[in-house]
Structure 1
Amino acid sequence: YLKETQAEDGSWAAETSDTDGIVNTLAALLALKKQERRLAEARADMKSRCLAAEASLRRMLSDWDFEATDRVGLELLVPNLLKLLESEGIAFEFPSRKPLMVLNTAKLERLGPVLTSPMQTTLIHTLEAFVGTLDFDKVKQHKMPNGSMLASPSSTAAYLMNAT
């Protein structure tokens, strides 16, 4: 699917907004980098796709006005994807990065205690946004009797991959 939907410019742009295109491309690039590392037979194809995605992201991020963006959770999702890409050896500098990271730090400081408290919160429905920034062992009290995290497949998957 990712190979079939990558645009000629290397992005996974979205018709809805530039921000959605940035998020799509960050996540797709991360997936391709992980595949490139694991699948020797696909390495050459993945490498060229990753380079195209990186170039596209550099263009998109340089023009991105983060402060004019109105999307819930963006200040958590984009920094997390950036950190995960940095662990793959890909770093991005762009004009909106500093204000984005300042907001991310402030939000995480407020949300950390909320996530780990015994009180249930809708944030448990989106644990995937906290991979790499949350001790997943501290949210086990929110697991539902059926084993899910608020009946969210993506949140449950994030919990299962990151809790010990």
Structure 2
Amino acid sequence: MNLDQFISRAAGHGPCVGVHREMPSPLAAPASVEVRTVDGALVKTLDGLYDAFAEVWHFPPWFGRNANAFNDFMRDLDNMVQTATGRQQPARGYVTDVTNAHLLLIEQPEAFSWFANKMAFYRDYYRDELSPPAAFGLLLSAPADKRHEVRERWMSVGIQVAEVDV
């Protein structure tokens, strides 16, 4: 599926996690979709994950850097993006593109299942509770020889993973 199809399906009941081929430049955002890129080399630990997501999604200075605070702010991307950018119209989607995804939480594998299983929770929030509704998705890219490993890691904790052509 292409990126627009992924976002459309993520806005419904389809997969909200997708893998795509490694790209030499950042992912181009479709119209009215906020896309942020996080380098997996920076998110090998929970502290790194909290820091990277806080930076790209404009978490406020009082972000508590723990799982509960992370869950709260991941469900407030609309307000944080609007405040940071000054845009008045809400986005139709919020997508984080993790490059070098084979390194994501690699130094704290016990945290991976928690993180992976929160993706559908965030997707459901943006679909069911946000007004107007929006898509939520996480895209993963890795070197060609690591993509299968990335997909299998996510599937091993029960996450449906889409193949996305970007």
TM-score range, shorter chain: 0.3 to 0.5
TM-score after normalising by structure 2: 0.34
Q: Which of the pair has more CA radius of gyration?
A: 1
Higher relative contact order (CA 8 A, sep 6+): 2
Bigger proportion of residues as strand: 2
Bigger proportion of residues as helix: 1
TM-score after normalising by structure 1: 0.34
